[in-house]
Amino acid sequence: MAQLIGWREWLALPDLGIARIKAKVDTGARTSCLHAHRLEPFTERGSPWVRIWVHPLQRNTQSICCAAPIVDERVVTDSGGHCERRIVMKTTVVLGTQDRKSTRLNSSHRY
């Protein structure tokens, strides 16, 4: 049975060590966006990875650093028509009591 979700929902990104973060739901997007205030591409055992720093809670300066393999780099166009090159990574998302789903995230920070 499908789960009804709202425009904004709390979710977890356990592979990234993020237990709780508020997300805006965008059913028309090909990837989900994770805002990072700092982003650092690096190489791990010959493969491209990215280290990102995020503020999971609004109005809170606590920062979490996490890392994931890069699966793609894409040019993303926002609703205002502005294009930006973004790193895409794949991670697990947990929404409510739903089973874990793997999704692709792009990081919204210029590098």
pLDDT tens for the chain, 111 residues long, are 566 666 678 889 999 999 988 887 776 677 778 888 899 999 999 999 999 999 888 777 889 999 999 999 988 887 789 898 889 888 888 887 665 655 666 665 544
**Interatomic CA distance for residues 99 and 21, integer angstroms:** 17
Identify whether the C-beta of residue 83 lies closer than 8 Å to the C-beta of residue 77.
Answer: yes
Identify whether the C-beta of residue 34 lies closer than 8 Å to the C-beta of residue 52.
Answer: yes
Reported pTM? 0.78
Question: Quick one: pLDDT at residue 111?
Answer: 44
Question: Quick one: pLDDT at residue 4?
Answer: 61
- CA separation, residue 11 to residues 46, 63, 84, 99 (Å): 32, 17, 25, 12
